[in-house]
């Protein structure tokens, strides 16, 4: 069975967005007598600067013209080097802006069931939430079937903005059946992990979940809340969570910023006998 992972892009709080990397930070380290192709040297030098945090997310690289003149290389050579770094997700280019250092990436394995708070803690990030709405409502069609609810049974509908180091990264909407979580409104869901409340206060042990990944264009509300425009797509993850006895517990849908998240799959080929 293949293993699926979600790669999370997180932006360093020390990013000096708009600052430009000095050309000599690269040119001074080029050795044209080494026998190593120049494009590989350029890529390796920049890779080391980025990984050592000498160059921070948001920092601009020198213009193509400045780099080519300083290094005495062709545009094709430079673009080849940049292509290697872009493939690794270390840099990106935007028309009218230039080429800049991307935010570092962290891996989140989808086969490990964690809450947002747990995931951020593992990655060394500070998770926080803003409660967008919390109310009792009629269940969605999918929730009614998933929870096996009778007519007129209500659910808690919770929507939160999830932040990592105070940066908005996702909007999470969850439905929970009221019969499993009576008086859920007494908890501060802006300051506490919902999964912690489920397990520690309601003594319901979460056991597994199934997830589906899709994409969407953000609507105007999502654009405003996440601080993005319509050109930034959303990565949608729909999750069905179960307790240890296979009881359906939570139905959630999380819209992640597409400029900060990318889904990747590692699959293992199984051979027939």
Q: Residue 146 half-sphere exposure, CB side, CA atoms within 13 Å?
A: 22
Average pLDDT, the chain: 84
Q: Which of 174, 15, 191, 9 is nearest to 106 (CA)?
A: 9
Could you read off the pLDDT of 220-236 as tens digits, one per residue? 999 999 998 888 889 89
Binning pLDDT at 50, 70 and 90, where does residue 14 land?
very low
**Together in a domain, 153 and 203:** yes
- SS3 percent helix, strand, coil of the chain, rounded to 5, is 25, 35, 40
pLDDT value for 25: 80
Residue 264 scores a pLDDT above 70:
no
Per-residue pLDDT averaged across 190-203, rounded?
Answer: 94
Residues near 15 by beta carbon (within 8 Å), at least 6 away in sequence: 56, 57, 58, 59, 103
Residue 11 scores a pLDDT above 70:
no
pLDDT value for 195: 93
**Together in a domain, 56 and 187:** no
Could you read off the pLDDT of 84-97 as tens digits, one per residue? 888 877 888 887 77
The domain tally of the chain equals 2
Structural domain boundaries enclosing 176: 113-266
Query: Residues, the chain, total?
Result: 273
* Residue given tokens 């999502």 in the structure block: 222
CATH of the domain at 231: 3.40.1410.10
Residue 10 scores a pLDDT above 90:
no
């Amino acid at each position: 069975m293949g293993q699926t992972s979600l790669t999370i892009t997180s932006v360093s709080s020390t990013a000096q967005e708009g600052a430009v990397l000095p050309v000599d930070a690269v040119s001074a380290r080029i050795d044209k007598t080494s026998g190593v192709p120049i494009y590989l040297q350029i890529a390796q030098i920049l890779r080391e600067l980025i990984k050592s945090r000498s160059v921070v997310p948001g920092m601009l690289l020198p213009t193509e013209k400045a780099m080519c003149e300083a290094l005495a290389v062709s545009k094709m050579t430079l673009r080849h080097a940049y292509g290697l770094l872009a493939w690794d997700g270390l840099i990106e280019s935007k028309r009218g802006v230039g080429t800049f250092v991307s935010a570092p990436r962290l891996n989140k394995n989808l086969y490990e069931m964690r809450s947002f708070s747990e995931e951020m803690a593992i990655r060394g990030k500070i998770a926080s939430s803003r409660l967008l709405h919390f109310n009792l409502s009629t269940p969605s069609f999918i929730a009614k079937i998933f929870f096996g609810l009778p007519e007129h049974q209500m659910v808690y509908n919770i929507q939160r903005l999830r932040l990592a180091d105070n940066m908005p990264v996702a909007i999470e909407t969850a439905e929970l059946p009221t019969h499993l979580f009576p008086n859920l409104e007494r908890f501060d869901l802006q300051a506490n992990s919902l999964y912690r409340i489920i397990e520690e206060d309601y003594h319901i042990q979460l056991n597994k979940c199934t997830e589906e990944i899709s994409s969407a264009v953000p609507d105007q509300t999502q654009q405003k809340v996440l601080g993005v425009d319509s050109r930034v797509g959303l990565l949608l993850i729909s999750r069905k969570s179960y307790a240890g006895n296979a009881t359906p517990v939570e139905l959630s849908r999380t819209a992640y910023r597409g400029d900060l998240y990318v889904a990747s799959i590692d699959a293992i080929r199984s051979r027939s006998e």
